[in-house]
Structure 1
Amino acid sequence: MITDITRRLCIAALIAAASTAAFAQGGAYPQSPVTIIVPFPAGSATDAVARKVGEGLQKQLGQNFVIENKAGADGILAARAVASAQPDGYTLFITTNTTHSANPAIYRQLPYDPRKDFAPVGGIIRIPFMVATRLDFPADDFAGFVSAAKAAKPALTYGSGNTGSRASGELLKARLGFDMVHVPYRGSPQALTDLIGGRIDVFFPDPASALGMLQEKKFKVMAVTGPKRIPTLPAIPTVIELGVPDFNIVAWVAAFAPAGTPSAVVQRLNTALNTLLRDPEMVAFIDRIGSEILSTTPPELAAYVDEDAKRWVDLVEIAKIEKK
C-alpha cells in the first residue's frame, strides 16, 4: 500500500524530472518573474535583506524578483507556502534560523520538514541582536540593567519579534537569575514601536531594523548578543564581555527553494547569489546593517543549518523555553 509520504515523494520526483527537462529545453532560467517569500513583515531585517538580494538578482538574471511578506506564527505560514509551491525555481524562500533551526526545537509538530521540504540555495548573512530598553529605563549600562531587572516588581516585560529575540530574553533570564514577562509580536518593527512608546521595557532587536532609531536616540542599548562587537556600533560591549559566559545568540538569513527544484536552477541561483555577496555595494550594505556575509554552496548551507539546529536544541533546554 502506498503511503501519503511515499506518494508525496513520488510526485515531487516526477515534478523535478519534468522541471529539469523543461529547463534543459526551454533556455536560460528565469524566463518570468520570481516570487521571494519572506516570513517576517516589511521593515524587518529579513525583509530589508531580501529586497536587496532581489534587486541584485534582478540585475544579474534579467527578471523581476518580487517580495511577498507572509508574516506570523514564527514563520510557519511562509514555510508551509514555500514547501507546497511548485519546485520550478519561481518561488524562493529567504528566511532565517527561526523556520529551519529554532522551530524544530520549539514546536512539537510542524506542518513542514526543514530538511525534506526545501532545497538549500545559499547563505546570505549572520546578524546578532542587541539588549535594548525603553529610553526612560532607570539604568544606563548592563550592570544597572541587571540590578533593575532583579529588583523590578512587577517583573519587567520584554518583547520578541522572532525566535532569536525570544531566545535572547529567555537565556538572559536563565543565566542571570531574574524574571521578565514575555510579550510576543508578529515582527521586530511592531516590538520596536512598543519599546519606543514605553509599552514594553526590553526588546532584543537586530541592528538592521533598529539602527536608524538607535541613532535618533529613541531607546537605550546595553549590550550585543553575538560573540563580537558590531563594527557600526563599536562602543557597545558584548554580553560575554560583561561577564556572562557562552552567551552567543546570532541569527542567519539564507535562501531556499522548494524540494525538487532542478539542480541546474539551484546552481544558477547560488552562483548569482555568491556573485552578489562579493559586490562592493552589497558588502557595504551588509556592513552598514551590522551583519557579516554568510556565503555558501548549497551543501555547505545544509550542513550549517543542521549544526545550528542541534545548537538550538541545547539552547531551548538551557533557556527553559517551553515547547509549543
Structure 2
Amino acid sequence: MFKKSIPLAAALAASCALLSGPVQAAGYPAQPVRVVVPWPAGGLVDLLARSVADKAQASLGVPMIVENKPGAGGAIGAGEVARAAPDGYTVMLTTSAMNMNAAIRKGLTYDVEKSFVPIAVAAYTSLILVTSPNGPDSVQALIDQARKQPGKLTYASAGVGTPGHFAGEMLKSAQHIDVVHVPYKGGPPAMVDQISGRVDYHFANAVVALPQIKDGKIKALAVASAHRVPQLPDVPTMAEAGVQGFDLDQWLGYLAPAGTPPEVVKTLHDAITAAAQDKSLQASLVKNGMRAAEPMSPDAFKTYLHDDYAKWKSVAKASDIHLD
C-alpha cells in the first residue's frame, strides 16, 4: 500500500514544483515596490516619481516607495539598483543624464546597456536656450555675435557632463563658434549668474527656466526639442530658428535590474504607463515644464535607450567631454 503511494506523492510534489513559478509570478506584487531616484529630493525627477507612485498604487495594489539616492551624476543610485534582486521590488526612475554620465565617466559599477531592463518612459522635459534680457534676440543673432567675438562669449551649464553642457558643445561644433564653457554645481547657481549677466547664455532645463522667463529675468531664444513648450508658444524650436539636429528631449523613464521576469516588467509597465496618461498628472507635468510620454513598449524603450546612449557617446567623443 505504502509502496504504491510513493510514486503518486512524488508526482504530486513535482507538479507543485512546476506550478510554483507561474503562481508566484502571477501573485506579483505582494509587497511595496521601492523606486530609487538617483537625484536629490525636490527636483523634477523626484516630483515625477512621487506623482506616478500616487497614481500607480491603485492598479498595483501596493505602494511605490520613493527613495532618493543622489551622487556621482546618478551613478550611486544606478549602481544600487543594478545590484538589487531582479524580483520587481526595486526599480529606478532615471533620465537621459544616466546615458550622458556613462558616456564620459570611467569606472562605473554597471553597464547602462546590460545591467538594466527597460520598463517604461513616463515623461520628457526640454532644454531652453536662454540669454539675459539685454542679450541677442534670436539664435542667429547669438551665433553671429559669437563669430564676431571668438573666445569672448561664455555659456553656463549645471556641471560637466550635464545635458546643458552636451547641448552647448553641440552648438559650438555645429556652428563652428569659439565660446567658453562655465560649469556650475547645479542648475540654480547657473541661473543666478545668467540673470545677473555674468554669463552670456545657456541651455537651461525648462523646469528651472520657465519661472524666470515668465518674470522677465531671462530671455528664451529657442527650445532644443522637436516640440515647442506649451507655456512658450511663441518661442521656436532650434530647427525653426535655423539650427538643425537639436531634438534633445530629456527622457524620464523606469528601469529594473537585469533578469527581472518579463511578466513582472509588463505589470510595472502597464501600471506606470496608465499613471502617466492620467489627465491630472499630465496637467501637473505641463505646469512644471514636462510632458507625458506616449506609451512605449519595453522593447521599443530598449531600442530608444540604445540609440540615445550611442548619440551621447558620439557627442562626448567629438567634443572631448570626459570625467577622469
CA contact (8 A) 1:119 1:256 kept: yes
Aligned residue runs from structure 1 range 218-229, under 5 A: 218-229=217-228
Matched, 1:172 2:171: yes
Aligned residue runs from structure 1 range 141-160, under 5 A: 141-150=138-147, 151=149, 154-160=152-158
CA shift for structure 1 position 125 = 2.0
Residue of structure 1 equivalent to 2:45: 46
> Structure 2: any 5+ residue segments left out of the alignment?
1-18
2 CA distance for matches of 1:37 and 1:21? 29
Report the TM-score when normalising by structure 1.
Answer: 0.81
Call closer, same or farther: CA 1:186–1:257 in 2, change over 3 Å: farther
Alignment counterpart, residue 123 of structure 2, candidates 122, 125, 129: 125
2 CA distance for matches of 1:273 and 1:229? 25
CA shift for structure 1 position 130 = 0.6
SS in 2 for 1:67: strand
CA deviation digits over 1:170-219, x for unaligned, max 9?
11111223333334345434533443455544332222343233222232
CA contact (8 A) 2:73 2:97 kept: yes
CA contact (8 A) 2:119 2:265 kept: yes
More off after superposition, 116-125 vs 212-221? 212-221
CA shift for structure 1 position 75 = 1.6
For 1:195, the aligned partner's letter is Q
2 CA distance for matches of 1:180 and 1:88? 48
2 CA distance for matches of 1:247 and 1:138? 21
2 CA distance for matches of 1:129 and 1:252? 11
SS in 2 for 1:124: strand
2 CA distance for matches of 1:283 and 1:138? 33
1 CA distance for matches of 2:192 and 2:71? 17
CA contact (8 A) 1:83 1:112 kept: yes
The count of aligned residue pairs is 304
More off after superposition, 79-88 vs 287-296? 287-296
> Structure 1: any 5+ residue segments left out of the alignment?
1-19
SS in 1 for 2:204: coil
1 CA distance for matches of 2:226 and 2:145? 25
Superposition CA RMSD, Å = 3.0
CA contact (8 A) 2:128 2:209 kept: no
2 CA distance for matches of 1:28 and 1:77? 31
CA shift for structure 1 position 311 = 2.3
2 CA distance for matches of 1:160 and 1:104? 17
Report the TM-score when normalising by structure 2.
Answer: 0.81
2 CA distance for matches of 1:185 and 1:39? 19
1 CA distance for matches of 2:96 and 2:258? 18
Aligned residue runs from structure 1 range 301-312, under 5 A: 301-312=301-312
Aligned residue runs from structure 1 range 93-108, under 5 A: 93-99=92-98, 101-108=99-106
More off after superposition, 80-89 vs 42-51? 42-51
Residue of structure 2 equivalent to 1:33: 32
1 CA distance for matches of 2:247 and 2:310? 14
1 CA distance for matches of 2:41 and 2:189? 10
More off after superposition, 144-153 vs 86-95? 144-153
CA contact (8 A) 2:115 2:258 kept: yes
For 1:245, the aligned partner's letter is Q
CA shift for structure 1 position 58 = 2.6
Percentage of identical aligned residues: 33
Residue of structure 2 equivalent to 1:182: 181
Q: Which runs of 4+ in 1 moved over 6 A?
A: none
Call closer, same or farther: CA 1:212–1:110 in 2, change over 3 Å: same
For 2:206, the aligned partner's letter is P
